[in-house]
Amino acid sequence: MKRTNTLLVVTLAGLLATTAGAEHWPHWRGPHFNGSSTEKNLPDSFSKTENVKWVTDMPGPSAATPIIWGDTVFVSSTDLKSRTLRAIALDRQTGKVLWNEECGAGFSRDDRSNFASPSPTTDGRLVFFYYGNGDLAAFDFSGKKVWSRNIQKDYGSFAFLWTYSTSPTLYDGKLFIQVLQRDVPVRGSGRADGPNDSYLLALDPQTGKEMWKQNRPSEAVAESRESFTTPIPYTHAGRTELIVTGGDCITGHDLQTGKELWRWGTWNPQKISHWRLVPSATAGAGVALGSAPKGAPIYAVKLGLNGNLTDSDLAWTSSEREVSTDVATPLFYQGKFWVVNGERQTKAISCVDPATGKSEWVGELTSRPKIESSPTAADGKIYFMNFRGEVFVVEAGKEFKLLRTVSMGDDHDNDLRSSIAISQGNLFIRTGSKLYCIGK
């Protein structure tokens, strides 16, 4: 009897420890808005058949990252058959589809992406789905639509050459929407009846009504005004702000009003016209990273400052060729920045000192396809995948160690961009036609 009680106590302690370490994944960049999680006990090895808790078919492709709150997984998706945009909820334990609601009609406006590229976000009460055609909808966890609106209809047609794909951010009781676009129409998109301003919106999550709107001017030209980044909240020295990248600059904004607190720019003094921006800001260790595109450097801006900043307000500018990213958003984990350069012929991941910008190591990745998935991390491991669905697992250590490469994609997959979500001891891997839940 005494032995049984001891065993019971040990078992309960283990369960409590596991529960205590579990985290939701409520946003594309995770619970801390930097790609990291405190999750432990993740599987050391996996495949399409090994350590698969479940796999669920998706109705169409999407670059959106799954989000997780407790026992519910939320996925944005297209539907190839109906050519509609879907909001989907799954049971985290079984993968069973709890509900699948239509949020809008349409599929894409170019051949490189579709309208289901933005990731949803949740506060544990409502979940918000946003799409590249401007459709925005809030659902409760039972699948009841609470409100919906279309940002293009309400604020004017988006002026983008490519498909708009900014994800919403939910923070401090506000739903933030970012539209950084061209100032003139392009290929039939954009307002012809007024100015095409770039702007930030704060909406009331309960009603969808506007709380504030802040224009964000830019001196960039043509395509360089287009930003596909997501606004990122960060607190430094007691001040919380919203960090925004795009239009050849990086800015910090007051959460209550949208007022611009500071601005640094530019990484494009020659005003190159085709430098659209994809990587979102990543903040950590007192700096915010602005990742210039097309092989250009990364710029670390000192946080806590005000007004128009100069280059003297930069903590560092990366000088190593590998410390650059055209698409993947950098990760901040265990006090380091981790940068995946997936565009070069030789793909690489770099471990970067946040104080100096110098790489502590650079690891080469054997991958012919591009890598545009943004890295995520937990349990001492970093996860990301290439266009074909090959998942790279790298040790977050003092030297480069590729733990494994796992092929999770199907034969037809060739442009996968979804990040790998981490929650409740599981990895959630979105391929072109499937969602895998990986766990011990």
pLDDT exceeds cutoff 50 at 19: no
Q: What share of the chain in percent tops pLDDT 90?
A: 90
Answer whether 126's CB lies under 8 Å from 170's CB.
no
Cβ within 8 Å of residue 190, ≥6 positions away: 156, 157, 158, 159, 160, 181, 182, 184, 196
Mean pLDDT (whole number) for 132-155: 98
Examine the pLDDT at 381 and tell me if it is beyond 90. Answer: yes
Query: Worst-scoring range by mean pLDDT, 3-12, 138-147, 330-339?
Result: 3-12
CB atoms inside a 10 Å sphere around CB 236: 18
Has residue 2 got a pLDDT over 50? no
pLDDT at 10 over 70: no
Band of residue 427 on the pLDDT scale cut at 50, 70, 90: very high
Q: How confident is the model at residue 22 (pLDDT cuts 50, 70, 90)?
A: confident
Q: What is the pLDDT of residue 252?
A: 98
Exposure string of 171-202, with b = 16+ CB inside 10 Å and e = fewer, is: beebbbbbbbbbbeebeebbbeeeebbbbbbb
Q: What is the pLDDT of residue 108?
A: 80
- pLDDT tens figures, 115-125: 999 999 999 99
d(CA 195, CA 311): 31
**Residue ranges of the domains in the chain?**
165-317, 322-417
Tens-digit pLDDT profile for residues 258-267: 999 999 999 9
Residue 21 pLDDT grade (very low, low, confident, very high; cuts 50, 70, 90): low
- The predicted model gives 166-189 an average pLDDT of 96
Closest to 161 measured CA to CA, from 116, 200, 111, 110: 110
* pLDDT > 70? residue 8: no
For 12, other C-beta atoms within 10 Å of its C-beta total 10
The pLDDT value recorded for residue 265 is 95
The confidence score (pLDDT) of residue 173 equals 98
Residue 126 pLDDT greater than 80, yes or no: yes
**Model pLDDT, residue 15:** 40
The token duo for 437 is 């839940």
What sign for the dihedral angle of Cα 47, 438, 66, 79? positive
Mean pLDDT in residue range 33-48:
96
Give yes or no on whether 165-317 and 322-417 have one common fold: yes
- Segment 188-196 shows an average pLDDT of 88
DSSP string, 164-224: --PPPEEETTEEEEEE---SS-BTTBS-SSS----EEEEE-TTT--EEEEEE------GGG
Span 24-34, pLDDT tens digits: 999 999 999 99
Span 393-414, average pLDDT: 96
Question: What pLDDT sits at residue 423?
Answer: 98
The highest-level CATH class for domain 322-417 is: mainly beta
Q: What is the pLDDT of residues 301-355, one digit of tens each?
A: 999 999 999 999 999 999 999 999 999 999 999 999 999 999 988 999 999 999 9
In this prediction, residues 402-409 reach a mean pLDDT of 97
Average of per-residue pLDDT across 2-12: 37
Query: In whole numbers, what is the pLDDT of the chain averaged over residues?
Result: 94
Q: Find out if CATH 2.40.128.630 is the number for domain 165-317.
A: yes
